[in-house]
């Protein structure tokens, strides 16, 4: 293994080694069970070769609360490791707590850093349960309390070089997410940059976004910065709305619009009752009901809505106290029959 580390570092292809504690996340059942007992010689060689260790920072002991796993990992594994090998470069991937932020900021700059996902900047653990169990908001490390989300937002938007982008984007088949034992992972890749931009804009720190996304990571790894550019434009976009008769119409919305904003725009344009609308987002492989949480509800971007997205509109039946039965006839295009 030591020879492999040396040859890997010199290969110019592999630049780091990932640590998965056994059972920490999806498909990690064969991960590390004894870091100090079985991996210390490898870690010592990595420190010599200046090769970073990337860690999924959670313990997996059954007696540790799932919301405390990151803090316990820092106290029992990471802090002792840094004290034993102070020259080892470490990246705490997808940090989720104020404890992780405090730890990273306490370490020597240039040796310990952290990545942050869009979901841990935008969501707290309430997002797992609002309006019912939300499997598409389930990831590992699991979402934490609002106080932790705020601490992470403050850290990444401060301009600190210790924090950089890491989406941890994890696509899974719908049947594996929406099941009796759904797998962990949030698929954010198509809209990740827009989500990060939203966080930095709301914090009044758009001038620090580029460093977080493009500079801090390669600088920590000792790699050249990319020279290509991506331009983010804050513009409105239009969605295609289809009703029960199959008629189509376009609705123009802002890029920060929520489900509630879209409903209000439909109400204004089509004179349809806001409070009875049911919106279904149609994609190539699944249909997703878009829930309205009010003026501060989930944004369309968070649902994966893009320019020219197809949305189906239905209506709740009137609650007039009658015993009538209602049947919804779904368009063939929604059922995938068209």
Burial of 64 (0-12, 13-18, 19+ CB in 10 A): middle
Instruction: Supply the pLDDT for residue 199.
Output: 96
Of 22-26, 93-97, 270-274, minimum mean pLDDT range: 22-26
3-state secondary structure 4-71: HHHHHHHHCCCCCEEECECCCCCCCCCCECCHHHHHHHHHHHHHHHCCCEEEECCCCCCCCCHHHHHH
Q: What is the structure's pLDDT at 303? A: 77
Question: Is pLDDT above 50 for 338?
Answer: no
The CA-based diameter of the chain, rounded to the nearest angstrom, is 78
Give the list of residues 6+ apart from residue 175 with CB closer than 8 angstroms, or none: none
For 96-134, letters b (16+ CB in 10 Å) and e give bbbbbbebbeebeeebbbbbbbbbbbbbbbebbeeeeeb
Mean pLDDT confidence for 101-114: 97
Region label for 187, one of left (φ > 0), alpha (ψ between -120 and 50) or beta (otherwise):
beta
Please state which CATH number belongs to domain 2-221: 3.20.20.140
Q: Which residue has the higher pLDDT, 315 or 1?
A: 315
Range from 166-180, 202-216, 297-311 that averages highest in pLDDT: 202-216
- CA neighbor of 217 nearest in space, from 167, 164, 166, 169: 164
Q: Is the pLDDT of residue 296 over 50?
A: no
* Band of pLDDT at residue 9, cut at 50, 70 and 90: low
Band the pLDDT of 295: cuts 50, 70, 90: very low
E strand map for the chain: 17-19, 53-56, 90-93, 112-116, 163-165, 237-242, 248-253, 277-282, 287-290, 310-315
Report the sign of the C-alpha dihedral through residues 289, 293, 295, 300, in that order. negative
Q: Which of 10-24, 31-45, 131-145, 322-336 has the highest mean pLDDT?
A: 131-145
Res 136 pLDDT > 60: yes
Q: Which residue blocks in 85-173 are alpha helix, DSSP H?
A: 98-106, 118-122, 146-156
Q: Beta partners for 280?
A: 289, 312
Q: What is the pLDDT of residues 209-229, one digit of tens each?
A: 999 999 999 999 999 999 999
Considering only residues 13 and 78, tell me which one the structure prediction assigns the higher pLDDT: 78
pLDDT at residue 211, rounded to an integer: 98
Question: Which pLDDT belongs to residue 316?
Answer: 76
Distance CA 140, CA 172 (A): 14
Give the list of residues 6+ apart from residue 131 with CB closer than 8 angstroms, or none: 291, 293
pLDDT > 70: percent of the chain: 86
**Distance between CA atoms of residues 49 and 278, nearest Å:** 57
Q: What is the mean pLDDT of residues 81-110?
A: 97
Q: Is pLDDT of 286 > 80?
A: no
pLDDT at 54 over 90: yes
Delimiting residues of CATH 3.20.20.140 domain(s) in the chain? 2-221
Q: What is the per-residue pLDDT for 292?
A: 57
> Is residue 261 a contact partner of residue 253, using CB atoms and an 8 Å limit?
yes
Which of 301-305, 309-313, 318-322, 332-336 holds the top average pLDDT? 309-313
pLDDT (tens digit, 9 = 90+) per residue, 225-278?
Answer: 999 999 888 878 889 999 878 889 999 988 778 888 899 999 999 988 888 888
Quote the pLDDT of residue 285.
Answer: 52
Give the pLDDT band of residue 112 (cuts 50, 70, 90). very high
- Report cis status (omega within 30 of 0) of the bond before 141: yes
pLDDT at 120: 98
Question: Region 92-101: what's the mean pLDDT?
Answer: 98
Share of the chain above pLDDT 90, in %: 56
- Dist CA 187 CA 76 (whole Å): 31
What are the residue ranges of CATH 3.10.20.90 in the chain?
237-335
Pick the CATH number of 237-335 from 3.30.310.50, 3.30.499.10, 3.10.20.90, 2.60.120.10: 3.10.20.90
**Structure token digits, residue 175:** 């049947």
Q: What is the mean pLDDT of residues 311-315?
A: 88
Mean per-residue pLDDT for 4-27? 75
């Amino acid at each position: 293994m030591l020879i492999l580390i040396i040859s890997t570092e010199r290969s110019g292809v592999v630049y780091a080694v990932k640590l998965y504690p056994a059972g920490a996340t999806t498909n990690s059942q064969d991960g590390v069970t004894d870091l100090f007992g079985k991996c210390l010689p490898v870690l010592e060689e990595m420190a010599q070769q200046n090769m970073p260790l990337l860690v999924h920072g959670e313990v997996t002991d059954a007696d540790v609360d799932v919301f405390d796993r990151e803090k316990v990992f820092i106290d029992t594994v990471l802090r002792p490791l840094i004290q034993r090998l102070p020259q080892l470069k470490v990246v705490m991937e997808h940090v989720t707590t104020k404890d992780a932020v405090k730890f990273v900021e306490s370490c020597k700059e240039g040796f310990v850093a952290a990545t942050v996902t869009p979901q841990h900047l935008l969501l707290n653990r309430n997002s797992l349960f609002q309006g019912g169990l939300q499997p598409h908001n389930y990831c590992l490390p699991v979402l934490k309390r609002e106080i932790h989300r705020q601490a992470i937002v403050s850290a990444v938007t401060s301009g600190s070089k210790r924090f950089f982008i890491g989406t941890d984007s994890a696509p899974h088949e719908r049947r594996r997410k929406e099941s009796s034992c759904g797998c962990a992972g949030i698929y954010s890749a198509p809209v990740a940059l827009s989500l990060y931009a939203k966080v930095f804009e709301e914090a009044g720190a758009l001038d620090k976004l580029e460093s977080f996304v493009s500079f801090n990571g390669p600088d920590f790894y000792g790699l050249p910065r990319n020279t290509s550019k991506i331009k983010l434009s804050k513009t409105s976009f239009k969605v295609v709305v289809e009703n029960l008769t199959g008629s189509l119409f376009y609705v123009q919305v802002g890029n920060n619009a929520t489900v509630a904003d879209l409903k209000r725009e439909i109400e204004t344009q089509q004179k349809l009752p806001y409070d009875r609308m049911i919106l279904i987002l149609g994609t190539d492989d699944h249909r997703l009901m878009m829930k309205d949480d009010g003026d501060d509800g989930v944004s369309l971007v968070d649902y994966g809505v893009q320019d020219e997205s197809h949305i189906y509109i239905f209506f709740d039946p009137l609650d007039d106290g009658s015993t009538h039965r209602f049947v919804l006839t779904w368009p063939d295009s929604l059922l995938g029959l068209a």
